[in-house]
Structure 1
Amino acid sequence: MADAPAFPVPTMPAPPVGVVGLGQLGGSLAAALVAAGREVSGWDVDPAAREAAAARGVRITREFTGVVVLAVPLPAMTTALEGLAIDPAATVTDLGSVKVPVVETLGAAFGGRFVGGHPMCGTERSGHEATDPGLFAGARWALCLEPGTELPRWLRVAEIALAAGAEVVPVTAAEHDDAVAAISHVPHLLAAALAAAAADAGPLALALAAGSFRDGTRVIGSDPAFVTAMVEGNAAPTAAALARVRAQLDRPWPDLVAAGNAVARRAVDRRTVRVPLERAALLALGRAGGAVHRRRAAFVEGWLPDA
């Protein structure tokens, strides 16, 4: 499909948002949108999660219209809507940490109405008890813009991310999975390896563990089933990223330390840009390391890193 031309988009009332899955991510998104004045409904198989969301102003229902957000674990993506009534005109999105298999499966089911998404936030905690309306503030939210994605629907999902306090990074599913393998999925494996190696070193090593060990192993405190589904769902890009880490470890240690320090201490300035509502231009922004922070009628405002 050829890229659609830039076009003005008339101001329209914000559609209602339905969140399916009211754990940490889904519950936090619902709470953030309620605080932003959006109409939000939700559902979860857990009665306690439903009760907690209702107390925060979420309307509990099995019927959804507008934009429907799947905030469920990766293995449940294809069955999460069973037993629910979804408006045939609704836009469907998700919050999953792997995009290619999700976009392939749900894209086949919903066509251009599906927009894959992944907010880069969350903690090692899970469940509705970990709900935090401020979870998305300042976070990057990857939003897939595939050749078949309907741009007006992509913009509607982008508006939800912006309303929650995030910045939107336009990507393709494949680009997303390659990137997060390096900065999210491999770190989970490294955290697991570091924790297991420290345990092998004996009780004295664990007793002396302090800040650097705690920071290096924090993410592996996540639900093992969640981490396993994430890395296995993105196996090839994760294996490639892990190979790059192994290659770095083979460098002379002074060189490795200096190179890593330079990346960690880099200073990045930003310059504001306007981007037309056109697929190639939006993806170019994401590929250059930029993000969208505001929607306008005929364009979006964002920023690019300024070298």
Structure 2
Amino acid sequence: MSETSALAGPVEIVGVGLIGTSIALACRRAGLEVLLTDTSPDHVRTASGLGAGRARTPEDDPQLVVVAVPPDALGAVIAQVLDAAGPDTVVTDVGSVKAGPLAAVAAHRSVSRYVGSHPMAGTEHSGPLSANAELFDGRPWAITPGPDATSSATRIVEALALVCGAVPVHLSPAEHDRAVARTSHVPHLMASLVAGTLAGASADHLALSGTGVRDVTRVAGGDPRLYSQIIGGNAAAVAALLAEVRDRLDLALEAVTGGDRVGLESLLAYGQAGTRAIPGKHGAAPQPMAAVRVSVPDQPGELARLFADAGDSGVNIEDVRIDHDPGRPVGLVELDVVAGRAEELHAALESRGWTTHR
């Protein structure tokens, strides 16, 4: 039996926004029948038009129901689905918090057929038109069965993750919530707090903005209504980490106001150690990186030419960032490569006429 054969379909998607429709498209890519349900008929029509499946009818009997509704509605909708589903139907949800939805249905007579899950993928966009079947490829997908979940239900939800191209990661609901508080929810709050210092700033100050402030604040552009539900639903884990951050912020304030360079350096070094703890590509240990900076004219085709020349060099590009020069029609492109190969890329690009910056 293959790892995905536990899931034969049909798969019903309840909530056909970005995540729900992307799951539907991935399931259709694998040849599974997909049924679509949403409070918005327009969303169902749009997703159907994209090839994500068809509207569910009362006669349909799905093997798996995926609940992909906003966080505040998860518990109630999961309970409704368990009430209405057939005796063999498995139910999962793809919400960002797992302990809360499980607690909401813990006393349900069919809770053994519910297994929470959470694909660690998404964009700042929303709605079915933003969906794509490749959204989950290679991404972690948390599988979080409760204590009453059956092993067969867990296997079906794991098969969904595999069908979508994701990598299943098994966690308890509580451990999942602590993990996402650390890697997603608190970082989002910190980005929002920093971004808030820019609101109302003078144009002269904002003219000095560079890649650093953009990197730190990017995720703050997410929908405040959605993220208030996500973070509020994980209040205990988020609050515990915020208390730790507050203690370090107090130390930073004392170090800055007191001229304590040693204390400040210690805090900065602790943060640097944290960046080194983040897993590298494909989950491997992180490697030392170097940025090769290249001036690129802001004209059609120049980026494509740069990438082609970088590809011809034989040096693998690990990451890319672009910063625009506010005073000239030129962009500064940073190509991240393994540190030991930076000089090789510099030489290869300069030999083809590019201006690089060491």
The TM-score bracket by the shorter chain reads: 0.7 to 0.9
Cα deviation, residue 30, structure 1: 0.5
The alignment status of 1:261 with 2:257, answered yes or no, reads: no
Which residue in the other structure is 1:46 paired with?
40
Please identify, of 62-71 and 247-256, the stretch whose mean Cα deviation from structure 2 is larger. 247-256
In the aligned structure 2, how far is the partner of 1:176 from the partner of 1:167? Answer: 15
Which residue in the other structure is 1:285 paired with?
none
Which residue in the other structure is 1:177 paired with?
177
TM-score by length of 2: 0.67
Q: 8 Å contact 2:22–2:131 — kept in the other structure?
A: yes
In the aligned structure 1, how far is the partner of 2:208 from the partner of 2:23? Answer: 38
2:267 aligned partner, one-letter code? L
In the aligned structure 1, how far is the partner of 2:165 from the partner of 2:131? Answer: 15
Q: In the TM superposition, what are the counterparts of 1:14-33 in structure 2 within 5 Å?
A: 14-33=8-27
In the aligned structure 1, how far is the partner of 2:149 from the partner of 2:84? Answer: 23
Q: 8 Å contact 2:140–2:169 — kept in the other structure?
A: yes
Q: 8 Å contact 1:28–1:132 — kept in the other structure?
A: yes
Task: Identify which of 55, 61, 70 aligns with 2:67.
Answer: 70
The alignment status of 1:121 with 2:136, answered yes or no, reads: no
Deviation by residue 1:63-119 (Cα, 9 ceiling, x = unmatched): 442010000001122443659953232100001111111011133333110001111
Deviation by residue 1:205-260 (Cα, 9 ceiling, x = unmatched): 33432322222222222221111111111111101111222334426332233333
Unaligned runs of 5+ in 1: 1-8, 272-307
Tell me the secondary structure at the aligned position of residue 197 of structure 2.
helix
In the aligned structure 2, how far is the partner of 1:257 from the partner of 1:155? Answer: 44
In the aligned structure 2, how far is the partner of 1:135 from the partner of 1:237? Answer: 27
Tell me the secondary structure at the aligned position of residue 198 of structure 2.
helix
In the aligned structure 1, how far is the partner of 2:133 from the partner of 2:205? Answer: 38
Which residue in the other structure is 2:352 paired with?
none
Distance change >3 Å, CA 233–CA 49, structure 1 → 2: same
2:188 aligned partner, one-letter code? H
Q: In the TM superposition, what are the counterparts of 1:1-307 in structure 2 within 5 Å?
A: 14-55=8-49, 56-63=51-58, 64-80=61-77, 85-109=84-108, 110-199=110-199, 201-249=201-249, 250=251, 252-266=263-277
1:227 aligned partner, one-letter code? Y
TM-score by length of 1: 0.78
Q: 8 Å contact 2:191–2:220 — kept in the other structure?
A: yes
Distance change >3 Å, CA 254–CA 134, structure 1 → 2: same
In the aligned structure 1, how far is the partner of 2:236 from the partner of 2:154? Answer: 27
Cα RMSD (Å): 2.6
2:137 aligned partner, one-letter code? A
In the aligned structure 1, how far is the partner of 2:104 from the partner of 2:231? Answer: 18
Q: 8 Å contact 2:13–2:37 — kept in the other structure?
A: yes
Q: 8 Å contact 1:16–1:67 — kept in the other structure?
A: yes
Please identify, of 95-104 and 208-217, the stretch whose mean Cα deviation from structure 2 is larger. 208-217
Cα deviation, residue 13, structure 1: 6.2
Unaligned runs of 5+ in 2: 253-262, 286-358
Q: 8 Å contact 2:138–2:165 — kept in the other structure?
A: yes
Tell me the secondary structure at the aligned position of residue 208 of structure 1.
coil
Distance change >3 Å, CA 256–CA 36, structure 1 → 2: farther
Cα deviation, residue 270, structure 1: 5.5
Distance change >3 Å, CA 57–CA 176, structure 1 → 2: closer
Tell me the secondary structure at the aligned position of residue 144 of structure 1.
strand
Aligned residues: 264
In the aligned structure 1, how far is the partner of 2:205 from the partner of 2:116? Answer: 43
In the aligned structure 2, how far is the partner of 1:130 from the partner of 1:204? Answer: 36
Cα deviation, residue 201, structure 1: 4.1
Which residue in the other structure is 2:335 paired with?
none
Distance change >3 Å, CA 77–CA 13, structure 1 → 2: closer
In the aligned structure 1, how far is the partner of 2:184 from the partner of 2:70? Answer: 16
